[in-house]
A and B are shown apart, each in its own frame.
Chain A
Amino acid sequence: MIRFLLLFSKQGKLRLQKWFTPLTDREKKKVIRDMMTIVLARTPRSCNFLQWRDLKIVYKRYASLYFCTGLEEQDNELLSLEVLHRFVELLDKYFGNVCELDIIFNFEKAYFILDEFLMGGEVLETSKVAVGVSLQEADELQETMEEYMSKPMY
């Protein structure tokens, strides 16, 4: 299973964190610090995989954001690259040409999208279309109550 998923910028600012195992705040902060240090130090054309403690770390850079995830021993690293890519595609579909600012100003949306795609550390829905449809329907439930929150804005 995926243990955690982190999104952070080149400057070391955290944009999204999802933890699939219970960790204390201190442990989470340590992991974030370690991940940022290790990943940001890698040269541009390096291998996307590395070993950290007993986990396999898979990271990929999309524009100014680093997507970093920690896997267990049994997991397929190449497939997790596809998982990261799929997540980016979903964000792109929802926000329309997504960029880092979208994720900053609409972070709760990013979480909702993630929760429709991954759950409990495993892939939940393998169809791009299905995720998009359920997000739209959930948002419509909101439209009737809180118009303000649903509009992605800068």
Chain B
Amino acid sequence: MSPSIPLQEMIRAIRSARTQCEERGVIQRECAVIRAQFRQSDNDGRSHNLAKLLYVHMLGYPAHFGQMECVRMIASPRYSEKRVGYLGAMMLLDEKQDASLLITNSIKNDLSHSSQYVQSLALCTLACIGSAEMCKDLAPEIEKLLRASNSYIKKKAALCAIHIVRKVPDLGELFARTARSLLAEKHHGVLHGAVVLITVLCECSPDTLERFRKTVPDLVRIMKSLVTSGYSPEHDVAGISDPFLQVRILRLLRILGRNNEAASDTMNDLLAQVATNTDSTKTVGNAVLYETVLTVLDIKSESGLRILAVNILGRFLLNNDRNIRYIAMTSLQKIVGTDNIAVQRHRGTIVDCLKDPDASVKRRALDLSLALASASNIRSMMKELLMFLSSCPPELRAETTSGIFYAAERYAPSQRWHIDTILHVLTTAGGDVRDETVPNLILLITNASELHCYTVHKLYRALLSDISQQPLVQVACWCIGEYGDLLLRGECREMEPVEVTADSVLEALETVLQSHMSTPTTRGFALTATMKLSTRIMDNVDRIKSIVSIYGSCIDVELQQRAVEYNALFKKYDHMRAAVLERMPVIDRNSPGHTNGDSMGGVIKELEVDKVKQRETLLPQLPANQVCDLLNLLGDSEESVPAGPAQGDTVPVQSITTAKPIGGELLDLLGGFEPTPLASAPAVTVYEKNGVTLTLSCEKQSDSAVTVTLKGCNSSDSDVTSFALQAAVPKSVHLNMKAPSGDTLPAKGLAHVTQLVLLNNPNKVNLKMRIRISYSSQGSSVQDTVQIDSFPGLS
């Protein structure tokens, strides 16, 4: 058997290994030796064998064969072996391992050991890896130790109790009374432990919090003595006496004073004293001030104190230390909702922090700047934000653009400013904007009818300079298509007149169509725009015809379809062309089917209903059953509009939602896999036939949003396949059907099919839903319709 080398020799050997392979070799050899020695029951060098193993473990190599050795060493009578054994247990075992249960008995014995250092090892290990069962077993022991006379043990027992309460909150009751009495201690370690214990107890149970409110005067007294006492060399850190304890007391006061007038009054003087007297030149002083500010802002403090707190934060903002500025902004973010005016005073400094080179500070400054945007400062704020956008780090771009759009929408002083802002963002960071921006912007432009001429000119110029930013190109194409005639007229009040010919417009669109940078969606926009221009610009119809016919053989199916249809429009239905391609009506923001967050769906529904009507006349060979289904559902109830998937400017061919379940069979095999949230409302059976039942339950998500869960079940003896649901709702309600969990209902109710339907009802109309259920059972297909007039769980 090769001799085992001392720990430090091994470390040196590993460090001098030149390659990963060499290192692995050394470690494998050592591990083999260690394993052999573990098997020997009596061994002198047990502790440093285990230490070697722990070192190897820290390097990332497997060391689980050491777990049993840890258990054995913990039970050893020698202190050095216990020490390393417990260390090994904390590193190799955790509550999920079975081996950790084996040490429960050793810990129990060691908790009543004569030596306080052995007791402390046991306490430390319990606080580190104690599972819920171990905590329940040993809680009475810990409580006894809390009342011991030894301060060293008391402080450790307090922190161990904290771990127990965190793991098993019900045991909090056991420690509450002792915790209260510990506040009378003089020893700072014990006092600190007691304060943290009380904090955790209060966080766990509101009743305990009520009881501990009586301790507020004691806490104030302790804090005062810390702040006003003289220099104590043991606890002093840069002039502050025991900052750790001070911060914890302030935090406890915060919890106790929240929502309670009486408690808040008691601490007012103390907080004012700490806020004014703490030395803020070093980090430690600022840590205490920071905690004080957080406490003042969270309790029911008097207004003078609040202003003092916000001023301290303002001072922090001007501090040279980046850390201080960062936390100042974090804190201001928390109160910007409630104390907006106070925070507005520091707007200048915050906006300056946008230019700070540090990424963390920039992020905070961005969040806070967006929160501070208001109607009065929007112009200057936007200027700063746009400047920030041009130089901001890539990870913050999406957030910035979303924030800018939101602020612009809320506080735009004029429509022209709004359009200008959005255009600026699209040119600077077009690649990072959200998808809904394009339809939102289009909506905005159609609504600003006086600005059509100005907008189309600006967009045309932007298009000429850069066609790489897709959202910008899409909006530009759409506008040129709609308002091409205004573009050619050349006159525009707000901009210098520029000569624009029909040829140059068509050339611009052609460039977009041919560029490799354009996505298929963008090409779709450009093609439709070209087509629309055929009615707006009279003289170049041939050129348009040729462009359109080229795409009749395009590889992209969507473009090809469009091109073929437009070709047909030229050839067979020329008489209808003008009517079909006339200018779009102004889309009203609150039109049926339009919702604020999802204007996409609204715009598309309008387009969809219009275009479907066009298509009916154009191409009668469209899959007849789908068109018929559409008509059927429309026919059944005058007010229903079928749900359609929203997909850019494309006309959905299948406007009925029957999302194909992906791997439906697999999901059914997995049985219980249901991606639905737990229905908190009662389920109502809405359909029952042939053993197939459909239950409906719904949950209100917000004022106008409802989530409906449909669950299908089959209690008959044979399987039901091709189970599909279709839904229709009144016109002003927006419907979004998620993919069902599957399409097969196995016999005897072995598994369910669940489907989520999200409804948005902004106009608060009477919610009704018609559901068509179709499935195959025993060889025959069944189709049924149910009408739901009242939804369970909705008031």
Q: Does B192 contact A (CB under 8 A)?
A: yes
* Shortest Cβ distance from A104 into B: residue: B11
Does A129 reach chain B (CB closer than 8 Å)? Answer: yes
Q: Is the CB of B159 within 8 A of A137?
A: no
Cβ–Cβ contact A153 & B152, under 8 A: no
Q: Are A119's CB and B323's CB within 8 A? A: no
Check if A97 is an interface residue, CB within 8 A of chain B: no
B251 near A47 (CB under 8 angstroms)? no
Interface members, chain A 120-150 (any B CB < 8 Å): 120, 122-130, 134, 137-138, 141-142, 145-146, 148-149
B175: interface (CB < 8 Å): no
Contacts of A122 in B (CB 8 A): 159, 162, 193, 196
A146 touches B47 (CB 8 A): yes
Interface: B286 (CB within 8 A)? yes
Contact indicator A126/B192 (Cβ below 8 Å): yes
Q: Are A119 and B156 in contact (CB under 8 A)?
A: yes
The answer on a CB contact under 8 Å between B286 and A78 is yes
A112 at the binding interface (Cβ < 8 Å): yes
Contact with B along A58-97 (1 / 0, CB 8 A): 0000000000000000101111011100100000000000
Q: Closest B-chain residue to A80, C-beta based? A: B287
Residues of chain B contacted by A20 (CB below 8 angstroms)? 128
Q: How far is the CB of A8 from chain B (nearest CB, A)?
A: 11
Q: Are A130 and B6 in contact, with the CB atoms below 8 A?
A: no
The reply to whether A47 and B243 contact each other, CB–CB distance below 8 Å, is no
Q: Are B79 and A130 in contact, with the CB atoms below 8 A?
A: no
Least CB distance from A106 to B in Å reads 8
Binds A, one of B307-315, B355-363, B466-474, B533-541: B355-363
Please judge, given known A-B contacts A111-B87, A120-B128, A153-B8, whether A47 and B361 are in contact too, CB under 8 Å. yes
Question: Nearest CB to that of B78 among chain A residues?
Answer: A145
Shortest distance from the beta carbon of B510 to any chain A beta carbon, whole Å: 45
Does B40 sit within 8 A of A, measured CB to CB? no
**Complex Cα spacing A127 to B244, Å:** 10
- Taking A46-B360, A122-B159, A138-B117 as contacts, is the C-beta distance between A79 and B189 under 8 angstroms? no
A29 to B94, CA, bound (A): 15
- B326 contacts the other chain (CB 8 A): yes
- CA A125 – CA B48 in complex, angstroms? 28
Q: Verify if B646 is at the interface (C-beta below 8 Å from A).
A: no
CB of B283 within 8 A of CB of A82, answer: yes
Is B155 in contact with A142, judged by CB distance below 8 angstroms? Answer: no
| Of listed B58, B123, B251, B290, residue having the most chain A CB within 10 A | B58
In the complex, the answer to whether A29 meets B60 with C-beta atoms within 8 Å is yes
Cα–Cα, bound, A16→B284 (Å): 25
- How far does the Cβ of A45 sit from chain B's closest Cβ, in whole Å? 8
Give the interface size bracket for A toward B. 35 or more
Stretch from B24-32, B234-242, B336-344, B480-488 that touches the partner: B234-242
B127 on interface, CB distance cutoff 8 Å: yes
Asked if residues B244 and A123 are in contact (CB atoms below 8 Å), the reply is yes
Q: Is the CB of B700 closer than 8 A to any CB of chain A? A: no
Q: With a CB–CB cut-off of 8 A, which chain A residues contact B124? A: 115, 119
Task: Report which of B80, B123, B129, B322 forms a contact with A47, defined as CB distance below 8 A.
Answer: B322
CB distance B327 to A77 under 8 Å? Answer: yes
CB contacts (< 8 Å) of B79 on chain A: these are 141-142, 145
B residues less than 8 Å from A105 (CB atoms):
8, 11
In the complex, the answer to whether B87 meets A128 with C-beta atoms within 8 Å is no
CB distance from A154 to the nearest CB of B (A): 7
CB of B684 closer than 8 Å to a CB of A: no
Query: Which residues from chain A contact B117 at a C-beta distance below 8 Å?
Result: 134, 137-138, 141
B287 and A76 within 8 A (CB):
yes
Closest-CB distance, A109 to chain B (whole angstroms): 10
**Is A14 a contact partner of B58 (Cβ separation < 8 A)?**
yes
Q: Which of B80, B160, B283 contacts A119 (CB 8 A)?
A: B160
Do A48 and B128 have beta carbons less than 8 Å apart? no
Of chain A, the residue at the smallest CB distance from B242 is A126
Residue of A nearest to B245 (CB): A126
* Complex CA–CA separation, A51 to B359 (angstroms): 11
1/0 per position for A2-20, CB-CB distance to B under 8 A? 0000000000001111001
Q: Closest CB-CB distance, B756 to chain A, in whole Å?
A: 26
B780 on the interface (CB 8 Å rule)? Answer: no
List A contacts of B160 (CB < 8 A): 119-120
Say whether B163 faces chain A, with CB atoms less than 8 Å apart: yes
Q: Which residues of A contact B192 (CB under 8 A)?
A: 123-126
Scoring B residues 346 to 382 as 1 if CB is less than 8 Å from chain A, else 0, what string do you get? Answer: 0000000000011111010000000000000000000
Could you show 22 A-B contacts with beta carbons less than 8 Å apart? Answer: A1-B166, A22-B129, A29-B60, A43-B357, A45-B358, A46-B322, A48-B323, A49-B323, A51-B360, A79-B243, A79-B244, A79-B291, A81-B287, A82-B244, A83-B244, A105-B8, A108-B54, A119-B160, A120-B160, A125-B192, A126-B242, A126-B244
Known: A29-B60, A79-B244, A142-B80. 20 other contacts (CB 8 A): A14-B59, A15-B58, A47-B325, A48-B323, A49-B326, A76-B287, A76-B291, A79-B291, A107-B54, A112-B83, A119-B127, A124-B193, A125-B155, A126-B192, A128-B234, A130-B234, A141-B80, A141-B117, A145-B79, A146-B78
Q: A-B pairs with the 5 shortest C-beta distances?
A: A78-B287, A120-B127, A146-B80, A120-B163, A47-B360
Name A's B-contacting residues (CB within 8 A).
1, 14-17, 20, 22-24, 29, 43, 45-51, 74, 76-79, 81-83, 86, 104-105, 107-108, 111-112, 115, 119-120, 122-130, 134, 137-138, 141-142, 145-146, 148-149, 153-154
**Interface residues in chain B, defined as those with a beta carbon under 8 Å from any beta carbon in chain A:** 6-8, 11, 15, 47-48, 51, 54-55, 58-60, 78-80, 83-84, 87, 94-96, 115, 117, 120, 123-124, 127-129, 152, 155-156, 159-160, 162-163, 166, 188-189, 192-193, 196, 234-235, 237, 242-245, 247, 251, 283-284, 286-287, 290-291, 322-327, 357-361, 363
